[in-house]
Amino acid sequence: MPNTTLTLKSAASEKRNRQDYFNIAVSVDCVILGYENKELKVLLIESDLEEFNGLNSLLGDLVGPDEDLDTASYRVLKDRTGLDDVYLEQVQSFGNINRHPSGRVVTTAYYSLLDIRNHRLQLSHNEVSWHTVNDIKKLAFDHKEILDTCLKRLREQVMERPIIFNLLPSKFSLRELQEVYEAILGVGLDRRNFRKKIMLKDWMTDLKEMETDVPHRPGKLYKVNAL
């Protein structure tokens, strides 16, 4: 890093020296979401801090000096899931003074959407596991607040932009798609109205294939357009 002084001026900066300002660590935390068994799930790891004995936390890491924030969260995702082509979006930063018991850490939260079924294997070698979002009462640090904030953002965006398809396999039926929406939004949806509305958005293409291995009349399969 260059030796140039930082030249922002304020009452606060005049009173403090350079070391004070570089005494804050920067991290990213990823709310990695998947869908399985009609439930929205999030990838968590058991916290290894005594302060949070037994509690789970989101997956995150400190940001290295040569990493962008986005690069750091992609790295976390890659390390934890083996995936590098996953949807990832910055949500908000959390910087309360006492949010980390080991020191001052400002974190930037991302949410990520992936298809659990494609990636179950890569997780088996560590302590990371999927948890049903609705069952989560408490997490380490301020991670419950981060989770809730990310879920709120996801709910706001899920009808606006074609992001939900990241949670599904490349071929899916309208029933599966509707179930994912219902899991995220926490409401039941009318099937006919749902189909009308979703078709209007021009997000999907009819694959002219049918479901197999369902114990009932099979539905048509679709794929997302130009994800």
Measured distance CA(145)–CA(94) in Å, rounded: 9
Out of 40, 76, 151, 221, the only residue in the binding site for a copy of itself (CB under 8 A) is: 76
Give residue 152's identity as a one-letter amino acid code: K
Among 36, 86, 87, 104, binds a copy of itself (CB under 8 A): 104
SS3 15: helix
193 near DNA (CB under 7 A):
yes
The correct pick among 20, 85, 190, 209 for binding a copy of itself (CB under 8 A) is: 20
HSE-up of 53 (CA within 13 Å, CB side)? 2
Q: Rule CB under 8 A: say whether 210 interacts with a copy of itself.
A: no
User: SS3 helix, strand, coil % of the chain, rounded to 5?
Assistant: 35, 25, 40
The nearer residue to DNA, 74 or 222, going by C-beta atoms, is 222
Q: Is position 171 an interface residue for DNA (rule: CB under 7 A)?
A: no
Report the candidate in 148, 57, 43, 54 with the shortest Cα–Cα distance to residue 99.
57
Round to whole Å and give the CA distance between 31 and 1: 31
Which stretch, 27-35, 81-89, 141-149, 208-216, contacts DNA (CB under 7 A)?
Answer: 208-216
Site for DNA (CB under 7 A): which residue of 135, 202, 217, 226?
217
207 is a contact residue toward DNA (CB under 7 A): no
Of 73 and 173, CB closest to a copy of itself: 73
Residue in this structure with the two tokens 């009318």, named with its chain if needed = 190
Measured distance CA(49)–CA(40) in Å, rounded: 27
Whether residue 40 contacts residue 33, with contact meaning beta carbons closer than 8 Å, is answered with yes
Applying CB under 8 A, does 6 fall inside the site for a copy of itself? Answer: yes
Q: Which two tokens stand for residue 138?
A: 């408490």
Considering only 190, 205, 207, 225, the residue that binds DNA (CB under 7 A) is 190
Q: Which residue has the tokens 């965006």?
A: 157
From a copy of itself, DNA, none, interface partner of 187 (C-beta below 5 to 8 A by class): none
What's the min distance (Å) between Cβ of 223 and a copy of itself?
29
| Contacting positions for a copy of itself (CB under 8 A) | 1-2, 4-13, 16, 20-27, 48-49, 60-70, 72, 75-76, 79, 90, 92-97, 100-106, 108
